[in-house]
Copies of this chain bind each other. A is one copy, B any other.
Amino acid sequence: MSDDSDAEPQRSVPTRRRSPGGAPTIYDIAELTGVNPSTVSRALGKPGRVSAKTEAKIRAAAAQLNFRVNPMARALPTGRTHTLALIVADITNPLFFRLVRGAELAATGAGYALVIAESQESGDAEADVIEQIMPSVDGIVLATTRLSPERIAEIASRKPLVVVNREVVGVTAVVPGVERGTQALVSHLYEMGHRSIAYLSGPVTSWMSERRWTIILEAAEALGIAAVEIGPASPTLSGGREALRRVIASRATAVVAFNDLMAMGLMQAAAEAAVVVPDELSVAGFDDIFGSELISPALTTVRAPLVEMGQRAVVGVLAAVSSEDDAVSEDMPALTTELIVRGSTGHAPGGPFSS
Contacts and interface: CB of A to CB of B under 8 A. Distances in A.
Contact of A115 (B101, B113, B131): B113
A344 B135 CA distance: 50
A97 B268 CA distance: 21
Interface residue tally of chain A, by bracket? 35 or more
Nearest to A111: B132
Contacts of A65: none
B98 A92 contact: yes
Contacts of A70: 135
Contacts of A75: 72
Contact of A295 (B94, B116, B295): B295
Contacts of A324: 1
A114 B117 CA distance: 7
Interface in A105-149: 105, 108, 113-118, 129, 131-136
Contacts of A72: 72, 75-76, 81, 135-136
B294 A131 contact: no
A290 interface: yes
Contact of A291 (B1, B104, B105, B294): B294
B71 A73 contact: no
A104 B117 contact: yes
The CB with the most chain B CB atoms within 10 A, among A1, A91, A101, A134, is that of A91
Contact of A116 (B1, B104, B291, B296): B104
Interface in A46-70: 68-70
Interface string A147-171: 0000000000010000000000000
Interface in A180-236: none
A134 B108 CA distance: 14
Nearest to A73: B76
A23 interface: yes
A146 to B, nearest CB: 17
B108 A101 contact: no
A109 to B, nearest CB: 11
15 contacts: A21-B158, A68-B134, A71-B135, A72-B72, A72-B135, A91-B97, A94-B97, A94-B291, A104-B116, A104-B118, A105-B118, A108-B118, A116-B116, A268-B294, A291-B294
Instruction: Give the 9 A-B residue pairs with the shortest CB-CB distance, closest first.
Output: A296-B296, A72-B75, A291-B291, A92-B97, A71-B136, A294-B295, A115-B115, A113-B115, A91-B101
